[in-house]
Amino acid sequence: MSAAALLADLILVLHALVVVFVVLGQAAIMAGGVLGWRAVRGVAFRIAHLGLVVCVAAQAWLGVACPLTVWEQVLRRAAGQPTHEVSFIAYWLSRLIFYQAPSWVFTAVYSAFAVLVAVSWWRWPPRRSRG
Q: Which residues of the chain have pLDDT under 50?
A: 88
The answer to whether residue 130 is domain-embedded is no
The answer to whether residue 119 is domain-embedded is yes
The answer to whether residue 129 is domain-embedded is no
The answer to whether residue 128 is domain-embedded is no
Interatomic CA distance for residues 59 and 43, integer angstroms: 24
pLDDT of residue 106: 78
Other Cβ atoms within 10 Å of 100 Cβ, number? 5
Count structural domains, the chain. 1
pLDDT of residue 88: 47
Range of the domain at 69: 3-123
Other Cβ atoms within 10 Å of 20 Cβ, number? 12
pLDDT of residue 21: 96
The answer to whether residue 39 is domain-embedded is yes
pLDDT of residue 90: 59
pLDDT of residue 25: 96
